[in-house]
Amino acid sequence: MKYFFALIVFGFSITVMASDHREQGAHVHGSAKMNIAFDGLNGEVELNGPGDSIVGFEHKPTSESDKKTQAEALEKLEKQIGEMVFFDSSLSCEWKKEKIDIHHETNNHSNIEASWKVRCKKSVIGSQLIMNIQSFFPKVKDLDVQILVDTIQISAEAKKSKTSIKIK
């Protein structure tokens, strides 16, 4: 009897942990996360967000039109990231895609994981970074941006296009 009781308690605590995890924003439609880290002139940018906010839906595309929609969204992410995350043009930053992956979960949700290398000719310290992601993906309501440049750490939220972040 004691053993049976312990099992029930154990099962219950696992369930609570799993639902907490979701509520903490692991997958919230409209909400995405970006990490920007620079070591000198070399940076790495990572984006994580729900498929709903980037592609517009989260199921695995089967129809031609859904396949096209998904491909176009991912291509936009690949080709126009430098406009979505706009470093001052005087820094002459160049973007290079590392990966743009879409993970379909069994529960019919999906997540986008993307990363890029950025190489600038001048240090980004003291410059203004402009976040324009909503101009390209209006379903991103809230982009949490973490910036780490040498010893500078910034947490910012981009809730609309032309959100300016001073790197200092």
Cα angle: 98, vertex 102, 107; to 5 degrees: 155
Smallest gap, in angstroms, from Cβ of residue 81 to Zn ion?
Answer: 22
Smallest gap, in angstroms, from Cβ of residue 60 to Zn ion?
Answer: 13
Give dist(CA 13, CA 32) in Å, integer.
Answer: 28
- Residue of 100, 79, 101, 90 lying closest to 129 (CA atoms): 90
Q: Which is nearer to Zn ion, 58 or 70 (CB)?
A: 58
Q: Which is nearer to Zn ion, 27 or 95 (CB)?
A: 27
For 18-109, strand residue ranges (E) read 31-39, 42-50, 85-87, 94-104
Smallest gap, in angstroms, from Cβ of residue 109 to Zn ion?
Answer: 3
Q: Which is nearer to Zn ion, 85 or 100 (CB)?
A: 100
Question: Which residues are at the interface with Zn ion (CB under 5 A)?
Answer: 50, 58, 109
SS3 74: helix
Q: Are 34 and 156 in contact (CB under 8 A)?
A: no
Smallest gap, in angstroms, from Cβ of residue 58 to Zn ion?
Answer: 5
What does the block give as tokens for 41?
């002139």
Q: Which is nearer to Zn ion, 55 or 149 (CB)?
A: 55
